[in-house]
Amino acid sequence: AAVGLSEHEARAQGLKFRTKSQKASDWFTARQAAEKIYGFKVLVEENTGHILGAHLLGPHADEVINLFALAMRHGMTAEAVATTMFAYPTGASDIGYML
């Protein structure tokens, strides 16, 4: 599941951003769902802290991507999203670690 810009698109627009990506198959969410494949990549603009793009693979990606889309649509910073308390254990509870 993906929303927003890819790294290539962000670079082409001349944006300065940081990327966080990780294979997360050892996270509780993946183990709980018995999924061997789980990973993410998130792009955050350096100057504003806005999320430019999110790319998810694994359990609950189809739901969690909607939360990234909502945050992006309403201009939330990565810090604001990361410090939001989501129910645990859910796919959404991993968002803070992705940022």
Q: Confidence band (pLDDT; 50, 70, 90) for 19?
A: very high
The CATH number for 70's domain is 3.30.390.30
- How many domains does the structure of the chain reveal? 1
Kindly report which listed range (4-8, 24-28, 81-85) carries the lowest average pLDDT score. Answer: 24-28
Q: Can you tell me the distance from the alpha carbon of 45 to that of 68, in angstroms, rounded to the nearest whole number?
A: 14
* H/E segment holding residue 42: strand 39-45
- Determine the pLDDT at residue 30: 66
Tens digits of per-residue pLDDT, 44-80?
A: 999 999 999 999 998 889 999 999 999 999 999 999 9
32, pLDDT greater than 80:
no
Domain of 59, in residue numbers: 2-98
Tell me what the pLDDT averaged over the chain comes to.
Answer: 93
Sign of CA dihedral 65, 71, 72, 74: positive
